[in-house]
Amino acid sequence: MDMIDYITPFTSTVDLQTGIIGDAPLIVTRRLSDVRGLYADAQAEAALVSDNPLTYEVYYGYNSPEVEGQLGYCTTIIRPGEVGDEYFMTKGHYHAKADRAEVYYGLIGEGYLLLQTPEGKINIQEMRAGVVAYVPPHWGHRTINVGSENFVFLSVFPADAGYDYKTIAEHGFASIIVEREGRPTVAPNPRYQVK
């Protein structure tokens, strides 16, 4: 047998009040200026540019090597807020290795998980603390804070999944989640480009 280069087991601790992984080796923050063009209402987006709110953060608990068999994990903290009537959300992506799945576990607040096949078929799952959501292979996925507090969840994904942000950036999701009469509502995305 070849010598195995063992990785030493370790733990991370998620702050249960905030969702922050205190010793996260990799942190991504997305202000509105980092996601220009993401929201359907360009005027509303432009009006918020000077304020440039923080919309979400991702705390990676493990800077995992992109190796088959290993896993990555992170917490995502999406702030409450809207651009026009569209709730704050992540950019969303497919996996570069499209057949890689992902598991989400809801920790704090209320969110929607918006999924889409490359052909534009939409699926929506509701998330809150204690809900495990399965992102099957091949589905693009975006998360949306539809509540009034932070929406926080833990993600676990194959470390070799990779990210395809380009397809979403070019085509968008076929649906958007907007506030109508105080409630989250699924609406057609006026800027969706059929692939």
**Which residue, 40 or 161, is less far from a copy of itself as judged by CB?**
161
Q: According to the binding rule CB under 8 A, does residue 168 interact with a copy of itself?
A: no
Residues in region 2-61 near a copy of itself by CB under 8 A: 4, 6-16, 21, 61
C-alpha span between 66 and 171 (Å, rounded):
27
C-alpha span between 49 and 195 (Å, rounded):
29
What region, left, alpha or beta, does residue 62 occupy, with left being phi > 0 and alpha being psi -120 to 50 degrees?
beta
In the three-class reduction of DSSP (H, G, I as helix; E, B as strand; rest coil), residue 104 is classed as strand
Residues in region 103-142 near a copy of itself by CB under 8 A: 103, 105, 113, 115, 117, 121, 123, 125-127, 129-139
Q: According to the binding rule CB under 8 A, does residue 177 interact with a copy of itself?
A: no
Q: Which backbone phi and psi does 144 adopt, to 5 degrees?
A: -135, 130
Which residues contact a copy of itself by CB under 8 A? 4, 6-16, 21, 61-62, 68-71, 73, 97, 99-103, 105, 113, 115, 117, 121, 123, 125-127, 129-139, 154, 156-159
